[in-house]
Structure 1
Amino acid sequence: MLRVQLKSKLHRAMVTGADIAYEGSISIPADLMREADIWPGEKVLVASITSGNRLETYAQLGEEGCGRITINGGAAHRIKTGERITILAWGLSEKPIEPIKLLCDENNRIIKTSFSADPI
C-alpha cells in the first residue's frame, strides 16, 4: 500500500517577503530547494511557527544563495514577512522514506541537517 510520508522539511525558515499581487506559490532559493530535494512546481505545505497558519501551495525556484523566501498571492494574507515557517514536502512509497530535515537560521542558511529522530 502506498503511504504519504514526509520527504523533505525546511524547519524554522524565515519569510523575507510577501507579494499579494503575484499569482501564487512560495519562492525558495535554488540552493535550499536542491538541498531539500524540492522541485519547482512541487506541492508543499507551509506551516507558520509564528502564527500557526498553514497552507498548501507550490514551490517556485528562487535565486541561488539569496536567502529570500517569499510568500506569493493570496497566501500572503495568511503568512507574512518576518514569520518563522516550516516547509514540508511529501512522497508516496510502500517503504519508509528517510526524510531530509534541514534547520535554517534567520538568514535561511542551513545550520543543521537531520536534527531529530522521529520515533516509530
Structure 2
Amino acid sequence: MQVTLMKSKIHRASVTQADLQYDGSISVDRELMDAAGLLFNERVEIYNIETGARFATYVIDAPRASGIIALNGAAARLAMPGEKVVIVAYACFDEAETETFKPRVVLVDRDNRILRD
C-alpha cells in the first residue's frame, strides 16, 4: 500500500509578485527550492493564509537569493503581493518508509530569507 505524506513545505512565504499574463506556475527563489527539496516542474499545493484559498500549480525557479515568490497565470488571482502562503509538496511512500521519513520544513522571514535556529 502507498501512503501520501507531506514531502516538504515552505511556511509563511510572502508573495512578492503576481503576473496574470504569465503562463501559470509559481516562481520560487532557487535557494528556497533547494532547501525544501522542490524540483523544477514539481506539483505543489499553495495555501493562502490570508484568504484561505487553496490551489495547485507547479514550481519554476526564480533567481537564487532573490526572495521571489511569484504567482503566475490564473494563480495570480488567488494571492496578492504581501500575502502569506504555505507551499507544500506531497509524495507517495510505502508504509515501511513512513516510519523513518522526515519532511523538509523551511521557515522564512518576511523577506523570504531562511530562518536559522
TM range (shorter): over 0.9
What TM-score, normalized by structure 1, do the two folds share? 0.91
* Runs of at least 5 residues in structure 2 that lack an aligned partner in the other structure: none
Residue 80 of structure 1 and its aligned partner are, at CA, apart by: 1.2
Task: Supply the AA of the counterpart residue of 2:79.
Answer: I
Change (3 A) 1:101 1:112: farther
Note if 1:51 corresponds to 2:55.
Answer: no
Identity %: 37
Q: Distance between the aligned counterparts of 1:34 and 1:93, measured in 2?
A: 21
> CA-atom RMSD, angstroms?
1.0
**Matched pairs, number:** 113
Q: After the TM superposition, which segments of 4 or more aligned residues of structure 1 sit over 2 Å from their partners?
A: none
1:4-83 residue pairs with structure 2 within 5 A? Answer: 4-83=4-83
CA distance in 2, matches of 1:3, 1:62: 31
Distance in 2, matches of 1:60 and 1:91, equals: 18
Amino acid at match of 2:81: T
CA distance in 2, matches of 1:76, 1:112: 30
Structure 1: runs of 5+ lacking an equivalent: 114-120
Relative to the length of structure 2, the TM-score reads 0.93
**Alignment match, 1:116:** none
- Matching residue within 100, 107, 113 for 2:104: 100
